[in-house]
Structure formats: structure tokens, C-alpha cells
Amino acid sequence: MASAKKDNLYELVNSLSKSEKRQFNLYIGRFDANHQSNFMALFNVLGKTSEYNEDFILKKTSIKKQQLSNTKAHLYKQILISLRLNPLHQNTYTYIREQLDFATILYSKGMYKQSLKILDKAKQYALENYISHLAYEIVELEKSIESQYITRSMNDRADVLAVQAKELSLRNVLISKLSNLSLQLYSQLLRIGYARSEEDIVLLKQYFDARMPKIDIHKLGVMEKLYLYKAKLWYSFVTQDFLSSYKNSRRWILLFETNLKLKQLHPVFYIKGFNYLLESTFMVQKPDKFRKYLEEFKENIDDKSFLFNENTDCLSFLYYNLHKINLFFIEGEFTEGTLFIPELLEGLKKYEGKIDAHHTMVFNYKIGCLYFGIGDYENSIIFLNKIIEDKTLKMREDLLCFSRILNLVAHYEAGKDGDIDRLIKSTYKFLLKMDDMHEVQRLMMDFLKRLVYLYPHELKGAFQDLYNNLKRYENHPYEKRAFLYLDILSWLKSNMEGVPVEQIIKNKIKIGIDF
């Protein structure tokens, strides 16, 4: 028996809103016979069950077991056709493709002039909305039709189409190269996180330079610029050049603010651009700018004129709440942050299945850090264990490593000394396996290993020694990444002075002293 999450049809049926279900019934109701069909019986059953149960479906319908697969496929297709006709799912892309379909039908009927008229309008619309790949597809069909529909202007028309095809082809190739480079760099960050050594930086630079096409920024169109900023953004993120990340994400947003059509056409890119702007601002630790950008982002996603669907709604929730947590971190408001957690968890439950494993892991880590910041180590361990115990997680090796280190510290602070030796061994093995044993991690591991054997009067000196050793790496080009995940220095100072971590961080922010 398949689970609800694994059955695509069940998931699709139960994602439909009331209006979408009503439209589907109207669409199917065009033919009376459809109401008695197997696929409608299946639709009605799936809409009333709490999970996908094949035995229950066969019992409640007249569908035979050998018919079920074909019936499911047919229902799936009919639902998608119905959704495509829904005005809520109409956009620039669907309109252009619809016109392209109409023109193809007219062409197949030999009605060349009418087909060309539709194609010309659709092409202009595509170009006005920066959709060059569809414009190229239209030009190719125009060329095919013009070769059969001979007119006096054929010679001139052939030249015009040939030039358009060449220009669009070059533009699409450039966009493809830039988008491929952006995607590959993003994949690099997801797999291992930030660059960990000089060797990593050299290899990344070689990789980036070899794949970055030669360009003249002044000759680039809007979409080429967007993908260029994306590629540069991910390169700077992976290499920990967060100031460059900030500059490129700012250019990204300015591109949308100076080309208002982009915001309606590519709401996902706009939302993600704001996400990267906020993330890079957080990394360069600019609290005032971070709060300003977060407020601007909230105003944008609350704007009713902004084009939204279920996807953009989910992304808006994801990024806004992720950075709302970051605001608690950057301002040192850990207590306030933990009060927000129940509301956040309720929202995460609402979007369960739509938020990917990577972002779920990030949420769990940040929640664990919030609880750690107020000294609630039991809850910190609970959320860190959600990461550690999930053996399916293969991305963000750096986050997987630091989850284990923070978990070790939380166990020590919670007084769970009995588990320390076992956790140290498993964490050490994990770090070696991931090839992620750097100096900061080694110092932390060695410290925790001997911490449980120290006498009370030796603790303050041990914390001071570790603090002095780690302080040297705070601005190290490759070791500093450890401090992006856990403010280890503030935790050590907290133990040295007997003051909560939250208060240490607040004082650091308030008086601007570099401890």
C-alpha cells in the first residue's frame, strides 16, 4: 500500500482548493457519461480519504485492480487539463504557449496567413516580457511556415527571421551558460557548504573562470544580467566573500525595481533575490540594514497586487520566517525568538511536504541554536537530534558537522556527562568521514573530551585557554566559517563570566566591542 506522500495522484487531488474542485466537476460535466466513469469515482474517493489506500479504492468503486493504473493516469491528466484552464493558473508563459498551440493548429490546417499573424503577436509579447526561449521557438515555426507560404516580401522576410533567430539563439546560449554555472555553484554549496581551504578556493576559481562566458555588461539584456548576478552571487557565497554576495544580491533586486514587469513575470526570482539579499546582509552583520530589508520584504509579500500562487506563498513563508529567526540572532533576542517557535512550527506543519529537506534542516538547526542561546539545552538537543538522526540527509555537510558539535556542547551544559564519551567518538568519526576536521573543530573536540575530567576550580582557566586559542581563528579565511554556525566565543565568555549567552551577545551588539 502506497503512502499518501508517495502517491502523486492522491497528493494532487488533495492539493485542490474548493474552487478548483468545482471547476474540475464543471469541466468533466460537459459530457453526462463522465459522471458515471471510473476516473470520477476514483476522484470522489480520493477526495474523502485521509491517506491513499488501494484496497479501500477497489472496495468503494467498480474499478478492477488491473484497471486502476490506467484510471489513475487518466484522472491525473484530466485534473491537469482542468487546472490549465483555470484563470488562477494563467500567466505570461501559459498565454504564449497557448498562442503557439493555436498557431500550430492553424498551420496544420494550411491556414498559413492566420497562423503567422498569431505568431507575430505572440513573439512580440514574448520579447516584451523577456522570454527569449519561447520567442526563438516562435521564430523557428515562422521560418517553417514562411518556407511554404510564399509572398512578394519573402526575401526580406527570410533575412529578418534569420537575424532574429541568430540573435535569440546567442542570447539563449548565454543565458543557458550563466544559469548552468549558477546551478552548479548552488549545488556545490548544498553538498559541502563553504570553501574549506586555499585548495578549494583555487579549484572554485578555475571552475568559475572556465565556465564564465566573455560578456559586455552594457550589451546584456535583463535576463542575461539576472543570471549573471546569480552566478556571481553563488560564487561569492561559496568562497565566503559575503560583501560581494551583498553587492550582487542588491544588483539583483535593483534589476527588478527598475524593470517592474519582471516582478509579475518572475515572482519566484524576486522572492529568492530578497532572500539572498537578507542572507548576505546577515553574514556581513549589518543589523539596521537587515531589519530594513526584512520590513521591505514583508511589505512586498503582503502586497495584494503581487502575483501569488501556492508556490510563491510557500516560498514567502519559508524565507520570511527563516530571516525572522536570523533577526533574533543578529539582535541577540534569543528569548523573544523561542517565544516565536510555536507559531513557526505550526506554519511548518501547514507547509509540510512543500518545504525541502535542506531548509527543514536549517530550521531545525536555527531552532536548536535559539534554545541553546537561552540555556534550554534539553530542547536544543531535541531539535539538533532531528538532524543527526535523519540518515537520509546528504546535503550541507558543514551543517551536519556543526549540528553534532553543538549537540556535544548542549549535552555538557545539560549535565548529560554520561553520553559525552560516546558522542565524542561518533562525532569524531563523522568529521573524519566528511573530511571536515579543521582546527576550530579539533580544538573544540579536544576541549570537550577533557572537560568532563576537570575539577571545578580548573574550569574557568580551561575556558579561558580555549577562548584565547579560538580567538586567533575568528577572522581566518577558512576557519572563520565555524563562527557562522555557532558563536563559540560568546558561549565561552558566558562560562567565564557566569552570564547567560544571550546577555553576552546583547552586550557585544550594544557597545560594539570586539571581545
Task: Using a pLDDT cut of 90, give the percent of the chain over it.
Answer: 41
Task: Using a pLDDT cut of 70, give the percent of the chain over it.
Answer: 91
C-alpha closest to that of 243 among 282, 269, 271, 208: 282
CB of 131 closer than 8 Å to CB of 92 = yes
- Rounded to 5 degrees, φ, ψ at 393 are -70, 120
Q: CA-to-CA distance for 178 and 175, rounded, in angstroms?
A: 5
Angle, nearest 10°, between helix axes 310-331 and 357-373?
A: 30
CB of 474 closer than 8 Å to CB of 483 = yes
Which cell numbers hold the place of 381?
Answer: 538537543
What's the Cα-to-Cα distance from 370 to each of 235, 249, 367, 373, 483, rounded to whole Å?
A: 29, 27, 5, 5, 15
Sign of CA dihedral 252, 255, 257, 260: negative
Residue 318 pLDDT: 95
C-alpha closest to that of 123 among 135, 111, 107: 135
- Which residues fall within 8 angstroms of residue 326, CB to CB, at 6 or more apart? 278, 279, 282, 290, 366
pLDDT tens digits, one per residue of 252-264? 999 999 987 888 8
Enumerate the domain spans of the chain. Answer: 8-89
| Identity of the residue numbered 406 | L
H helices then E strands: how many in the chain?
26, 0
Residue 451 has pLDDT above 60, yes or no: yes
Q: Which among 78-87, 299-308, 435-444, 450-459 has the top mean pLDDT? A: 78-87
Residue 515 pLDDT: 35
Specify the pTM. Answer: 0.81
Q: Count the Cβ atoms, other than its own, within 10 Å of residue 309.
A: 12
Count of alpha carbons within 13 angstroms of residue 89, beta-carbon side: 16
Q: What is the mean pLDDT of residues 78-92?
A: 86
Please state the separation of Cα 30 from the chain's center in Å: 40
Greater pLDDT, 476 or 436? 476
Residue 485 pLDDT: 64
Q: What is the mean pLDDT of residues 26-40?
A: 81
CB of 162 closer than 8 Å to CB of 124 = no
Residue 5 has pLDDT above 50, yes or no: no
pLDDT tens digits, one per residue of 289-328? 999 999 999 998 888 666 678 888 899 999 999 999 999 9
